[in-house]
Amino acid sequence: MNLITWNVNGLRAALKKGFVDWLAAAQPDVVCLQEVRAAPEQLAGEPWRALGYQATWNPAARPGYSGVALLLRRPPLAVHAGLGDPEFDAEGRVLVAEYPGFTLLNSYFPSGQRDRGRVAFKLRFYAALLDLLDRLHAQGRQVVVCGDFNTAHRAIDLARPRENARTSGFLPEERAWIDIYLSHGLVDVFRALHPGEPGHYTWWSTVTRARARNVGWRLDYFLVSEGLLGAVRAAEILPLVAGSDHCPVLLEIGPAH
């Protein structure tokens, strides 16, 4: 089973930049989209239907802002939207899909903003989502949580850690939350399969032509339950795929070894 996570920085914009052609060529089973900035009624025709995908949405209440969606070629047993907390659910940040072997959480973590004005909100979101993950683990479920975490975990995960030590996205209190997630039975799959390899990023500023110079940040992740790691066949970042300031990240899961 192939899963993709991708912050598309506006799905309507991505559709104008070749998104459907990419989808037709890649043919993942599940696409987890973040920052869709659209509601279903704004995407007349749903062009992915011709490729065999059904869309499930959790848009933000505020038009043109945030929002997540799932494009599903392999139908789940059930899909649930949100965390049950109005503070976060108004921004359309979570979709939960139940599959026979695991629960998938498509998540768009808040940005702390340049002025750090939303760091506290961001950290509350980390805590609320972790509560859900802990409940799923307590029920014996294996979990895949993916999306734009808006945090680079370690110095290896961004090109210029020293210059960004005081920048939201690399603050100690933000990075500590990823450590907490990993201490709760989760594994950062890309880093587990590519330990110590620098230069792998998923987001680049569009202001300074950073992508051409690979001056980026790894903000987009797949975390999986430790018990699911034996089923992982591949975890790859796809930096050559254009259409957003983020690139897609791939997870391939097969039968457990």
Query: What domains does the chain contain, in order, with CATH numbers?
Result: 2-253 (3.60.10.10)
How far, CA to CA in Å, does 217 sit from each of 165, 220, 231, 246? 13, 9, 27, 9
Residue 114: its pLDDT value, please?
83
Query: Is the pTM above the cut of 0.85?
Result: yes
Contact 82, 47 (CB under 8 A): no
Q: How far apart are CA 58 and CA 91, in angstroms?
A: 9
Task: Name the catalytic one among 29, 89, 148, 220.
Answer: 148
CA angle 225, 229, 231 (to 5 degrees): 120
Classify residue 91 as exposed, middle or buried by CB count within 10 Å of its CB (0-12, 13-18, 19+): buried
| Sheet of 94-99, strand order | 78-81, 94-99, 102-108, 143-148, 220-225, 186-188
Residue 255: its pLDDT value, please?
78
- The number of C-alpha atoms within 13 Å of 118 and in the hemisphere containing its C-beta is 13
**CA pseudo-torsion sign 153, 181, 118, 42:** positive
Block means of pLDDT (10 residues each) for the chain, 257 residues, are: 98 96 98 96 88 96 96 96 96 97 97 90 98 98 98 98 97 98 98 96 94 97 97 98 98 83
Residue 147: its pLDDT value, please?
98
- The number of C-alpha atoms within 13 Å of 24 and in the hemisphere containing its C-beta is 10
Residue 77: its pLDDT value, please?
97
Residue 95: its pLDDT value, please?
98
Q: How far apart are CA 99 and CA 106, in angstroms?
A: 13
Q: Where are the beta strands (DSSP E) in the chain?
A: 2-7, 30-34, 54-58, 68-72, 78-81, 94-99, 102-108, 143-148, 186-188, 203-204, 216-217, 220-225, 232-237, 249-253
Best CA proximity match to 40, nearest among 20, 67, 18, 14: 67
Residue 44: its pLDDT value, please?
74
Q: At what angle do helices 172-183 and 119-138 cross, to 10 degrees?
A: 0
Let me know if 148 is a catalytic residue.
yes
